[in-house]
Structure 1
Amino acid sequence: MIIVSFGVAIALGIPLGDIVKTIETGLGGTLGHLALVFGLGAMLGKLIADSGGAQRIAMTLVNKFGEKNIQWAVIVASFIIGIALFFEVGLVLLIPIIFAISRELKVSILYLGIPMTAALSVTHGFLPPHPGPTVIAGEFGANIGEVLLYGFIIAVPTVILAGPIFTKIAKKLVPESFNKTGSIASLGEQKTFKLEETPGFGISVFTALLPVILMSIATILTLLQKTVGFEDNSVLATIRFIGDAGTSMTLSLLFAIYSMGIARNIPIKTVMDSCTTAISHIGMMLLIIGGGGAFKQVLIDGGVGDYVAELFNGTSLSPILLAWIIAAILRIALGSATVAPLTTAGLVTPMLGTSDVNLALVVLATGAGSLIASHVNDAGFWMFKEYFGLSMKETFATWTLLESIISIAGLGFVLLLSMFV
C-alpha cells in the first residue's frame, strides 16, 4: 500500500517535496481516529475469548434453542460474539464449537457454518468497533453511534437472508458440499473450558455488548433531542461523553478486566497477557489500515477525488449508491474488506459536501460494497474453503455468493432506510 501510494503520488504530479507529508497525513489521520477504538476492541474481545465467555454464550444459546432451531442459536451466538471479536478471530474461535455441535447433533458443518460466517461478516462490515465502519465513520465525519444504530437495523434482516434462507439455496446449488467433513487441524490445539469454569451467560453477553449499549443510548438521546428539541444540559453532555466511541470502549474494557478477570480470581498478570497478545495480533492490520489511509490521502491531494466528484456532478445517482459501487469495484480488485472502503473514502468524500445525504448511511453502503464477491485474492475465501473442506467451485457457490448476498441486501436495506432518516 505504501509503495503504491508513492507511485500513484508521482503519477498524479504531486510535488516530490509534498509526497511524504501527504502519506504521513493520511496514515496518521486514519490511525489517530482508529487506533484507540480498534486496539481497545481487540483487547475486549480477547478477554471474553480467553475467559471462556464466548464459549459460554455459544453453548448456552445452543442448549436454549434446541436441535430444531440450531441455526438460529448459531446466528445469535455468532452475532453477539462477532460484535466483540474481529472476523478472523471470531471465525477461529467459533469453528471448533461448530464442529463439536455438528458431531453431537449429526448435522452438516456447512449447515451451521453458513449462518455463522454470515453473522460474523455482517458485524465486520456494518458495526463499529470493527475497522471498516469505524474508519469510514471518521473519514466521512459521521456519528459513530448512528452508524451503530442504523447498522443494527440493517444487519438483522441481512443476516436472516444470508444465513438460514441462503443455506436452503446453497443446498440445492451444491448439495455435495453439505456432506463434507472439513478440517480444523490447522488451528492447532484449542483452549477449551468446562462450562462450569466459564463466566455466567448474562455477564458474558453484557460485557460483549456494553460498548454497543453505551454508544446506542447516547445516539438515541441525541436523535431524540434533535427531534423533540429539548435544551442541552450537563446530564446530556455527560451521556454524550460516555457514549463517545473512545470513552465507551475504555469503560467497557475496564469492566471486562473486572468481570472476565478480577471477579473470577484470575491474576491481573494473566489478564494483561491477554491484552498484550490481542494488541500484538492486530499490529499488521493497523499498518495495512494506515497504508490504506495513506493511499486515500494521495487520491485526495492528487485531485482524483475532485475529478470523480466532477465526473458525477449533476448526476441523479445517490451518494449512497455511488459509494457502494466504488467500494464493490475496489473490493473485487483488492480483495481487502478493510482497504477497499478506505480508498472509497478518498474518492467519495469530495462529493458529500454538496449533498444532504445521511453520512451514517453512506458509511453503511460503503461497508456493504466492501463485502461483495470475495474470491481468490481474499484470505477469508481460503479460510472458509480449507476449514469446511470445499472445492473451488463449492467455495464460489457458498462463500462468494454468501458475501455478495450480504453486500446487495445491505445496500437494499440502506436505501430503504434512507427514505425514513
Structure 2
Amino acid sequence: MPLVIVGISVLSLLFLMTKLKLNGFIALLLVAVGVALVQGVSLEKIPDVLAGGIGDQIGDTMIVIGLGAMVGRVMGDCGAAQRIAGKLVDTFGLRWVQVAMVVTAMLIGVTMFYEVAFVIIVPIAFTIVRVTRANLLWVGLPMSIALSTMHSFLPPHPGPTAVAASFDASVGLTLFYGLFFAVPFGALIALVWPRLPFVRRMNPEIPQGLVTERTFSDEEMPGMGWSLSVALFPVVLIAGAAVYDMAVPDSDAALPFVTFIGSAPIALLLTLLLALWAFGPRIGRGLAEVSKSCNSAAQAMAMILLVIGAGGAFKGVLVEGGISDYIKNLTDDWPVSPIFLAWLIAVILRVALGSATVAVVTAAGVVQPMIAGSGVHPELMVLAVSCGSIAFSHVNDPGFWMFKEYFNLSVIDAIKARTTYTTVLAVLGLGGVLAVEASLDALGL
C-alpha cells in the first residue's frame, strides 16, 4: 500500500503540472499535504513536517545555490565567464566542447557536492551556449551527468562516506575501486545522452537573469589568470580540506580551521568576496555596480529555491509516513546476492523517498547485518548501495527540480532527460561493482 501511495502521488503531481499547468511550488505542497493525510500524519503535525522538509532542504542548499549564483553572475557581468568559455572552446574546439565539460565536471565534482559544483560550472555552460548558439542540453547535460556520477558513486561525498563508516569500509579503497567504473561509465553516458533523438528534440532557453546578455570584446574581459583563479578558488578550498581531512589525525590542531574554510558555504562566501574585489575595485568598477549583479542573481533564484524547498517538503512527508520502514521490513528476508540486494534496496528507497542520501543511509542499515558472513568486500557493498541511490531521479527528488529549473525544462522533458540517465547510470554501476568483485576474486584478493 505505501508504494501505491507513492505512485499515485507522483501521477497526481504530473497531472497538476502538465495538464493543469499549476506552478511547481504549489503543486508539490498540495501533493505533500495529500500524502501526509493518506499516510495518517496527524493534522496538527502536517505543517511542522512540511516546514521541516522545506527547512532541511533549503538549509542545505540555499546558501550554496545563492552564493554560487551570485559568483556566476558577477563573473558573467564582467566577462570572466566568457573568457573561460572562450578558452575551453578554443582549446577543445566546438566539436569537443562536451568533452571539455565532462573533464571539467569530473575534476571538480570528485570532491564537491553536486549542487556546489553545478552552480560553479553552469554559468560557464550558459556562456558557451550563448556565444556558440549551441543547444543548452548539448553543453549542459554532459556536465550534469558527470557531476551526478561523481556525487552518487564515490566518497568523499556524503552518502558513500556515511555508508563506508557504517560498513567499516576503507574510504580510500572505496574511491579507488569506484574510479575504475565511475569515470568511464559517467563519461560514456555524458557523451551519449545528448545525442539521443528524444533529447535532441529538446531546445530549452537559458533561464532569464542567470547569465548576462552582453557579449564582451577581448579588451573588456579580465585576464584568463584572474578569471580561472576565481572560478577554481572554491574548488581548491573544498578539495584541499577534504584531502587534508583524510591525511591527518582527528587531533590535528589545524583541522578545525581547514574544515571551516573548506565547507561549501564558507568557501563560496570567500569566493564571492574575492570576485567582488577582483572584478570590481581591482579593475576600476565600484562595489555598487558589482553588487547589482548579486541582486540580479538573487531575484532569478527565488522561484528555483521555492521549488527545491517544496521538493524537500514532499520528501519529508514520505519519510514521516513510514515508507522507508515499510521497505526495510519488506526486503529483510529476500534470498539474493548481498551486492544485488544492497543495490536493489537503495533503488526502491530512492524511487519511494527521492533523497539519495536518505536512500543510501537507510539501505545501509538494512544490509549491514549481511556483510559479516557474506565474504563480500565491504567497499563493494558501499559502492553497490551508492550506485543504487542514483536511480530513477524523479519528482520527489529536490535535485530533479534543480535540474529542471536550471535547464528550463518541462516536467515531462526533465523526466525524459534526467530520470533516464540516472537509471542507466545505476544499472551500469551495479555491473561495474560485480565486475570489480569478479576481478578481485580472480586475483585471490
Please, what TM-score do these two structures have when normalized by structure 1? 0.68
Q: State the Cα distance separating 1:350 from its structure 2 match.
A: 3.7
Separation in structure 1 between the aligned mates of residue 49 and residue 193 of structure 2, nearest angstrom: 44
Partner amino acid, structure 1, of 2:305 = L
- The equivalences for 1:305-324 within 5 A come to 305-315=324-334, 316=338, 317-324=340-347
Q: State the Cα distance separating 1:89 from its structure 2 match.
A: 5.6
Separation in structure 2 between the aligned mates of residue 67 and residue 289 of structure 1, nearest angstrom: 33
Query: CA 1:16–1:383 in structure 2 vs 1: closer, same or farther (change >3 Å)?
Result: closer
Match of 1:303 among 316, 322, 343: 322
Match of 1:93 among 118, 122, 127: 127
Q: State the Cα distance separating 1:192 from its structure 2 match.
A: 0.6
1:35 is aligned to 2:62: yes
Structure 1 gaps of 5+ residues are 100-108, 331-339, 386-391
| Contact 2:84–2:124, Cα closer than 8 Å, also in 1 | no
Separation in structure 1 between the aligned mates of residue 207 and residue 61 of structure 2, nearest angstrom: 31
> In the TM superposition, what whole-angstrom CA distance separates every residue of 1:275-332 from its partner, at most 9, and x where no partner exists?
11111111112111221222222122221121122222244345455434554x57xx
1:26 is aligned to 2:53: yes
Q: State the Cα distance separating 1:347 from its structure 2 match.
A: 5.7
Q: State the Cα distance separating 1:216 from its structure 2 match.
A: 1.0
Quote the residue 1:216 is aligned against: 239
Query: CA 1:308–1:64 in structure 2 vs 1: closer, same or farther (change >3 Å)?
Result: same
Quote the residue 1:389 is aligned against: none
Q: Provide the secondary structure at the position in 1 that maps to 2:130.
A: helix
Quick check: 266-275 or 402-411, which moved more?
Answer: 402-411
Partner amino acid, structure 2, of 1:207 = V
Q: State the Cα distance separating 1:270 from its structure 2 match.
A: 1.7
Separation in structure 2 between the aligned mates of residue 236 and residue 276 of structure 1, nearest angstrom: 35
Separation in structure 2 between the aligned mates of residue 50 and residue 364 of structure 1, nearest angstrom: 39
1:283 is aligned to 2:299: no
1:254 is aligned to 2:273: yes
Count of residues in correspondence between the two structures: 365
Separation in structure 1 between the aligned mates of residue 321 and residue 422 of structure 2, nearest angstrom: 33
- The equivalences for 1:144-293 within 5 A come to 157-158=184-185, 160-164=187-191, 190-225=213-248, 230=249, 232-293=251-312
Partner amino acid, structure 1, of 2:144 = S
Match of 1:57 among 73, 80, 84: 84
| Contact 1:23–1:294, Cα closer than 8 Å, also in 2 | yes
Quote the residue 2:9 is aligned against: none
CA-atom RMSD in angstroms: 4.8
Query: CA 1:286–1:141 in structure 2 vs 1: closer, same or farther (change >3 Å)?
Result: farther
Quote the residue 1:6 is aligned against: 33
- The equivalences for 1:386-405 within 5 A come to 400=416, 404-405=420-421
Separation in structure 1 between the aligned mates of residue 207 and residue 257 of structure 2, nearest angstrom: 47
Query: CA 1:254–1:369 in structure 2 vs 1: closer, same or farther (change >3 Å)?
Result: farther
Please, what TM-score do these two structures have when normalized by structure 2? 0.64
Partner amino acid, structure 2, of 1:30 = Q
Partner amino acid, structure 2, of 1:291 = A
Partner amino acid, structure 2, of 1:85 = V
Q: Among the aligned pairs, what percent are the same residue?
A: 25
Query: CA 1:36–1:126 in structure 2 vs 1: closer, same or farther (change >3 Å)?
Result: farther
Quote the residue 2:112 is aligned against: none
Separation in structure 2 between the aligned mates of residue 403 and residue 90 of structure 1, nearest angstrom: 24
Query: CA 1:67–1:10 in structure 2 vs 1: closer, same or farther (change >3 Å)?
Result: closer
> In the TM superposition, what whole-angstrom CA distance separates every residue of 1:42-62 from its partner, at most 9, and x where no partner exists?
111111222211111121232
Q: State the Cα distance separating 1:20 from its structure 2 match.
A: 1.2
Structure 2 gaps of 5+ residues are 1-27, 110-115, 165-170, 369-377, 438-445
| Contact 1:118–1:162, Cα closer than 8 Å, also in 2 | no
Separation in structure 2 between the aligned mates of residue 321 and residue 252 of structure 1, nearest angstrom: 40
> In the TM superposition, what whole-angstrom CA distance separates every residue of 1:125-157 from its partner, at most 9, and x where no partner exists?
3578xxxx9xx95999789xx9xx969968754
| Contact 1:46–1:85, Cα closer than 8 Å, also in 2 | no
Q: State the Cα distance separating 1:164 from its structure 2 match.
A: 4.8
Q: State the Cα distance separating 1:4 from its structure 2 match.
A: 1.1
Query: CA 1:92–1:73 in structure 2 vs 1: closer, same or farther (change >3 Å)?
Result: closer
Separation in structure 2 between the aligned mates of residue 274 and residue 244 of structure 1, nearest angstrom: 24
Q: State the Cα distance separating 1:70 from its structure 2 match.
A: 5.7
| Contact 1:300–1:347, Cα closer than 8 Å, also in 2 | no
> In the TM superposition, what whole-angstrom CA distance separates every residue of 1:318-365 from its partner, at most 9, and x where no partner exists?
5455434554x57xxxxxxxxx843x5566654444555788986675
> In the TM superposition, what whole-angstrom CA distance separates every residue of 1:192-245 from its partner, at most 9, and x where no partner exists?
1012211222322221222222111111122233xxxx4622212211111112
